[in-house]
Amino acid sequence: MALTGRAAVAHGPGRMEIREYPVLPPARDQAVVRVSMATVCGSDLHMWRGEMPSLGSGAVVPGHEMTGRIHALGAELRTDTLGRPLLEGDRVVFSFFNPCGACWACLSNTARCPHRYRLRATADTAPHFHGAYADYHVIKPGQWVFKVPADVNGSDDLPDELVAPANCALSQVLYALHRIRIWLGDTVVIQGAGGLGLYACAVAKEMGAGQVIAIDRIPERLRLARAFGADATVDLNKLPTKAERVRFVQERTEGRGADVALEVTGVPQVVQEGLELLRYGGRYCLVGTIVPGASAEVVPHDVVRASRDVLGVVGYEAWVLPRALEFLQRTRQKYPFHLLVSHRYPLEEINRAFEDADWALSQGNVTRAAIVP
C-alpha cells in the first residue's frame, strides 16, 4: 500500500481539518522531510484570525516554522546548500520561501522577493505537503536546506524546540539586527519581549551591544528578557507614559537616547515612541508590524530633523540560517531558549493549539505552541 501522511488543511481563517494525502516519491530536485516539530508563529495567528492573507490561496496547509529528518531525496539532490553531503535520516532546517532570483527585487539583492511563495500550492495539488502542519514537507528547488549541526558525541544535539523556530523567528531577528547594524557598545532598545524580542535581547548582546533595554507590559516577559541578556527592562505598567519611558532611556545613556531601537511588538502605535527613544542619528528597525493597512501617527520631523535611519525588514538571506543554528549551539547554555516552546500538541489537536496560542498571546504569555505530528 502506498504511503500516506496527514496534513492540517485551512480553507481560510479559522478551523483546520485533518486530511490524508499520498506521500509521493520526490522529483529529482526535491526532498521529502518527515516533520518532527512545527511551531506556531505570530504570523500564523494573524492568518488564522484573518488579519492577513495566507501563504497561498485556496485550501492550504498552513505553517512555516519547522524541522525534521530527510525521508526521501530526489536523484539530483546530494548535498545541502553548503555543499555538505545529505542523506536520508539527516536532520535539516530549511527556508520556507523561495526567492525567484530573476525579479527586480532579487537582482537588487533585496531579501523580500515578491514571488517567494509562488511554489505554495493548494493541498490538493501534488506533492500536497507544501506547509508545516503535516506529517511531511516537500522541499523544492530554491529553498535553502541546511543540516542541523550534530554534537560530536551525539549526546548533546540541539533539541527540536530550539531548532524548529530557527527558520523564521530567530533568523528574522538575526538578519534585522545585521541590517540595522549593531556597533560595539550600542544601547539597543527592544520594543516587545515576546518570542522575537527575547531572541533579539540575546542576539544583540552577542553582536556587541553594550546595553540592551527591553520594553513590555508583562512582568513575566520582562523577567525572561533579563534571562535572555537584557540589562534593563521597562514595565509599561510602572512607566505608563511615553515621556517617562523616553526619560528612562535617556537617563541610561547620559541624555543621548538609544543608538538602535527594534520594533517587535506588531503594534503600529509604538512606532512614534521608537523614534523618540533614539539619539540623533539613531537607527530604527521595524519587524513586527506586518498587518496590512494597520496605521499609526508618526511625526516625520522626528525622522528628518534628528537624521534617524528607519528600516523595515522581512525575510533574510541564505547565510543567516546556518549562522542561526551555530548561534544556538554556541549559546544554548547561556540563554534559556528551551523556554520559548512550552506546549506540545499532536497534529489532530491543531485547532486547540491555535486557540491556546491565541489566548496565551492575549494574556501576554511568550510561549510558542508546537505541533509534534
Q: Smallest distance, Å, CB 307 to Zn ion?
A: 32
Does residue 100 belong to the site contacting Zn ion (CB under 5 A)?
yes
Place of cell 491565541: 358
Q: Smallest distance, Å, CB 369 to Zn ion?
A: 13
Q: Smallest distance, Å, CB 22 to Zn ion?
A: 28
Binding positions for Zn ion, 101-120, rule CB under 5 A? 103, 106, 113
* CA 126/CA 128 separation, integer angstroms: 4
Does residue 41 belong to the site contacting Zn ion (CB under 5 A)?
yes
**Segment contacting Zn ion by CB under 5 A, of 97-105, 266-274, 279-287, 363-371:** 97-105
Q: Smallest distance, Å, CB 78 to Zn ion?
A: 26
Question: Between 24 and 106, whose beta carbon lies closer to Zn ion?
Answer: 106
In terms of Cα–Cα distance, which of 89, 90, 114 is closest to 100?
Answer: 114
Measured on CA atoms in the order 253, 289, 194, 156, is the torsion positive or negative?
negative
Question: Between 65 and 259, whose beta carbon lies closer to Zn ion?
Answer: 65
* CA 35/CA 43 separation, integer angstroms: 20
Q: Smallest distance, Å, CB 360 to Zn ion?
A: 16
Q: Smallest distance, Å, CB 132 to Zn ion?
A: 9
Does residue 230 belong to the site contacting Zn ion (CB under 5 A)?
no
User: Judged by CB under 5 A, how many residues of this single chain contact Zn ion?
Assistant: 7
Does residue 18 belong to the site contacting Zn ion (CB under 5 A)?
no
Strands (E), the chain: 4-10, 16-22, 31-39, 65-73, 91-94, 136-139, 145-147, 187-191, 211-216, 232-235, 258-263, 278-286, 309-312, 341-345, 368-371
Question: Between 22 and 114, whose beta carbon lies closer to Zn ion?
Answer: 114
Q: Smallest distance, Å, CB 340 to Zn ion?
A: 13
What are the φ and ψ backbone dihedral angles of 328, each rounded to 5 degrees?
-65, -45
Question: Between 111 and 145, whose beta carbon lies closer to Zn ion?
Answer: 111
Binding positions for Zn ion, 133-172, rule CB under 5 A? 168
**Contact yes or no for 261/186 (Cβ under 8 A):** no
In terms of Cα–Cα distance, which of 138, 109, 177 is closest to 320?
Answer: 177
**Contact yes or no for 285/179 (Cβ under 8 A):** yes
Question: Between 60 and 277, whose beta carbon lies closer to Zn ion?
Answer: 60
Question: Between 248 and 327, whose beta carbon lies closer to Zn ion?
Answer: 327
Question: Between 270 and 287, whose beta carbon lies closer to Zn ion?
Answer: 287
DSSP 122: -
Is there a cis peptide before residue 127, judged by omega within 30 degrees of 0? Answer: yes
Does residue 291 belong to the site contacting Zn ion (CB under 5 A)?
no
Sites of contact with Zn ion (CB under 5 A) = 41, 43, 100, 103, 106, 113, 168
